[in-house]
Amino acid sequence: MDEVRNLLALYRRLIEARLRAQLQYRTSFALEISGTVLISFIDFVAILVIFANVQQLAQWTLPEVALLYAISGLAFAFTDLAIGHLDDFPGLIRDGNFDLLLIRPRGTLFQLLTADFQVRRLGKVLGALAVLAYALANLSIDWDLGRVAMLVVIVPVGVVIFASIWVTTICIAFWSVGAREASNAFTYGGQFLSQFPINVYDQWLRRFLAYIFPIAFVAYFPALFILGKPDPIGLPDWLRFASPLVAVAAAIVASAVWRFGVRHYQSAGG
């Protein structure tokens, strides 16, 4: 318990230092935040354009898709805020700087996750919140305790799922220099996938991207529950509550893969 408290205190101090550094240049910080808000809207513009042409997409209406978009957007935004800099990890391996982390008295993953904290990524949170407001204003949801609880719980659960995928796929860096690009297919790709109802994808694509990489559990199944909507592909109802368990499983896999990678790490020498 003491160890956890110690790590949390350390985490806070390190993040505060990053914050102070980034707030030094106010104008450019403001520009970057507003740019990031806009970036988070790019895919939503595509959704709006799609629904300017059709009433429904694979039996989903615009406000329903907006709910998917908002849930996945919030989960991804917080993930990106906390660990998006894992994308720089392959560079660390390539330059041999990972050795430095190995000789310090804290876990390697902990050191990596605290290495950066890009506050401008809060812009994505703002973008997702705006879409959530739009979705909730245009849906007539029969709110009860279960639905409210689902909406509150699903964001941190989604963060754990996205973060696990990020850690797992970036481990490719222990073996190949193309890790960053390959990992992007599943991290940014995962976000893209979860913005849309998974029944637009072919079955084989769903199996690979929605269940093996458990991206369908970020937004699709929880949104079905919140909306009280029958699953267009007729999957069992209990899947709507499986997300927290899936997140735990994903985290276990990620931490195992990470340890396996570190054990097989061979320094660049020097």
Partner 1 sequence: MLASLRTDLEIARRGYLRYAAYPAATAAGAFTNIIFGLMRGSVLLALFAERERIGAYDAAATIAYVWLTQGLLNVVALWGWQELALRVRTGDIATDLIRPIHPMRTALATDYGRAAYQLIFRGIPPVAVGVLAFHAVLPADPLVWLAFVASLGLAVAVSFGFRLLYNLAAFWTTDTRGTMILALVVMSVFSGFVIPIQFFPPWLAAIANATPFPAMVQTPVDIFVGVTRGPAILVALAGQLGWAAGMLLKSYWVFALGTRRLVVQGG
- Chain residues that interact with partner 1, rule: CB under 8 A: 25, 27-28, 30-32, 34-36, 38-39, 41-43, 45-46, 49-50, 52-58, 176-182, 184-186, 189, 192-193, 196, 200-202, 205, 209
In the beta sheet, which residues pair with residue 57?
60
- Rounded CA separation 118/125 (Å): 12
Would you say 36 or 168 has its CB closer to partner 1?
36
Q: By C-beta, is 17 or 39 nearer to partner 1?
A: 39
CB of 90 to partner 1, least distance (A): 9
Q: Please say which residue, 151 or 209, places its beta carbon nearer to partner 1.
A: 209
Bridge partners (DSSP) of residue 60 are 57
- Shortest CB 185 distance to partner 1, Å: 4
| φ/ψ of residue 214, rounded to 5 | -75, 55
**Shortest CB 124 distance to partner 1, Å:** 12
Residue 31 or 256 having the CB closest to partner 1: 31
Quick one: tokens of 173? Answer: 């860096």
Q: Name the minimum Å distance from CB 180 to partner 1.
A: 7
Distance, CA of 133 to chain centre: 20
Amino acid at 177: V
Q: Do 197 and 47 touch, CB atoms closer than 8 A?
A: no
User: Closest distance between partner 1 and the C-beta of residue 43, in Å?
Assistant: 7
- Quick one: how far is CA 169 from the chain centroid? 13
Q: Which of 150, 132, 128 is nearest to 39 (CA)?
A: 128
| Residue among 75 and 151 whose Cβ is closer to partner 1 | 75
Question: How long is the chain?
Answer: 270
Which of 36/151 has CB closer to partner 1?
A: 36
CB of residue 9 vs partner 1: minimum separation in angstroms? 32
Query: Could you tell me what percentage of the chain is helix, strand and coil, using 3-state DSSP and rounding each to the nearest 5?
Result: 75, 0, 20
User: Would you say 164 or 183 has its CB closer to partner 1?
Assistant: 183
Contacting residues for 127 by C-beta, under 8 A, at least 6 apart? 36, 37, 38, 39, 40, 41, 44, 73, 77
Q: What does the longest C-alpha to C-alpha distance in the chain come to? A: 63
Tell me the closest approach of the beta carbon of residue 81 to partner 1, in angstroms: 16
- Residue 131 identity (one-letter amino acid): V
